[in-house]
Amino acid sequence: MKGKLYLYTGVSSLGGLLFGFDTAIINGAIPFFSEYFALTETMIGWAVSSAIFGCITGALFIGVFSDRYGRRYMLKVMALFFIVSAFGSGISTDIHMFIVFRILGGIAIGGASVLSPVYISEIAPPAYRGRLTMTFQMSIVAGILLAFAVALILLDTGAYNWRYMFISEAVPASVFFVLLFFVGRSPRWLVKNGNYQEAGEVLRSLNYGMDVEGMVEQIKSSINTEVVDHIKYLFRKPYLRLVLIGLAVGMFNQFTGIAVVMIYSSDIFRAAGFSTESAILQTVVVGFTNLVFTIIAMFFIDKIGRKKMLLIGSVGMSIFLAIFAYIFFYDIKGFMPLVFMISFVACFAFSQGAVIWVLFAEMFPNNIRARGSSVGSFSHWAFYALVLFVFPVMRGSFIDNRGIGYIFAFFSLVTLGSFFFFRKFIVETKGKSLEEMEKDVIKR
């Protein structure tokens, strides 16, 4: 049972690895394709954030398509998008062609950010669901670390090094596509579509010793086909409150500044006095820290719970973000920026980084799970795009590093505010079946 459960989870979580790789590989490539295309600061912001507009589109519409065609089928489509985007970005001859293929890759990222955690949450037994869904986040940070490492390896491969960086993504994307043919379909999607026999077979193979017939009946009783078939119910009681909370969670996640750290960290380190090669090496250290603390979080998420981890992380991140702002206000050089950036990333990885995709996959009832998760993911990507676009413009409006300081001071204040939001509105979901949680979140 566990072998098949881990296989299905591992394959689905590869969507997270590609998510992380695609969003981070541009970090090491920025100085090289910017010079090749002779980009202004504003155009750099557009080139970097353009993929995120694809993410917004993919996240917003993938819920509808996955409800119609299934989680597994749409993950295959996203894998093909990743492959085409990787080659297209790498062979681009002008910035417009480059942006088109980055947007296509963004659609794949946005789709995977919804589909992979939803699929994992729908196959996982309650006792394992938190840590298994978290494998998606672990795969994201593994993909980020892999992208940083690949960028470092390809750094000295000549004038076309940035092309090789983007094309390298086609390898894991191809593996992802092939392996998806070896996993089953989501049992809850199968029940929604009336395929009770196959749903029972999948549940039986993943839930040894459980009352599978009872599970199928419980899932059936939680589904209202009228709600499933009409998006208008997302914006009516009792679901509207959950949708608004999902939007807020996505916003707070991005206003921690994690996107700036992961995408512009090499620029930030150069501003702190490091050389380009040393700056890229520091990003590998940051990525490794992200991975280590994500793994640590996996051992705690089903023990101490999602809500407590969010609260702990909000306090820690706000403190380190404030210190980081102070460093740039007073232009403190040396390794202090690296020390406090690592501290911030550790807090993020243990809290919001570990919890957000689990939360999106769990907090919405069966009737609206894919579409509700799409809304939360849409918020995440919309604010991600805003932050990535504004950062270089804001930074360029100052003649020194104070612009970076003001940005991180803002992130610190908003992250502190998220503590009070999470304490009031987030419902603890550890140890409960998706159908049991449904009663708790709707009751509130």
From 126, 34, 5, 127, select the one nearest 392 (Cα to Cα). 34
- Residue 366 falls inside a structural domain: yes
Nearest to 359 by CA among 410, 399, 413, 308: 308
The sign of the torsion formed by the CA atoms of 81, 82, 85, 91 equals negative
Residue 192 located in a structural domain:
no
The length of the chain, given as a count of residues = 444
* pLDDT for residue 225: 64
Which residues of the chain, if any, have pLDDT below 50? none
pLDDT, residue 74, reads 96
Q: What is the DSSP string of 61-76?
A: HHHHHHHHH-HHHHHH
Amino acid of residue 212: V
Q: Name every residue whose Cβ is closer than 8 Å to that of residue 360 and which is 6 or more positions away in sequence.
A: 114, 117, 118, 246, 249, 372, 373, 376, 377
Domain annotation covers residue 198: no
pTM: 0.80
Q: Is 210 among the domain residues?
A: no
Q: Tell me, yes or no, whether 207 lies in a domain.
A: no
Q: How many of the other CB atoms lie within 10 Å of CB of 304?
A: 14
Residue 366, both tokens? 């069966």
The Cα diameter of the chain in Å comes to: 67
Between the alpha carbon of residue 32 and those of residues 100, 153, 158, the distances in Å are 19, 15, 10
| Per-residue model confidence (pLDDT) at position 287 | 78
Query: Per-residue DSSP letters for 34-101?
Result: HHHHT--HHHHHHHHHHHHHHHHHHHHHHHHHHHHH-HHHHHHHHHHHHHHHHHHHHH-SSHHHHHHH
pLDDT digits (tens, 9 = 90+) for 203-221: 888 877 677 888 888 888 7
215 token code pair: 């599970």
Q: What is the CATH number of the domain that holds 49?
A: 1.20.1250.20
- Whether residue 42 lies inside any domain: the answer is yes
pLDDT for 173 = 97
> What's the structural domain count of the chain?
1
Q: What is the pLDDT of residue 272?
A: 66
pLDDT computed for residue 397 by the predictor: 66
- Encode pLDDT of 275-294 as tens digits: 767 777 777 788 788 889 98
For residue 194, is it within any domain? no
Q: Is residue 197 part of a domain?
A: no
Q: How far apart are CA 251 and CA 187, in angstroms?
A: 31
Range of the domain at 14: 2-184+224-443
- The pLDDT of residue 405 is 85
DSSP structural state of residue 428: P
pLDDT of amino acid 251 = 95
Report pLDDT digits (tens) over 279-337.
777 777 887 888 899 899 988 888 888 899 999 999 999 999 999 888 888 877 767 77
Q: How far apart are CA 321 and CA 389, in angstroms?
A: 20
Outline where 92-211 has alpha helix (H): 95-123, 126-153, 161-167, 170-179, 187-192, 196-206
| Nearest Cα to Cα of residue 405 among 343, 337, 347, 358 | 337
Question: Cα 320–322–327 angle (5° rounding)?
Answer: 95
Beta-carbon contacts of 303 under 8 Å, excluding residues fewer than 6 positions away, are 430
pLDDT at 45: 75
In the chain, count H helices and then E strands. 20, 0
Q: Which residue, chain included where needed, has tokens 């979140």?
A: 441
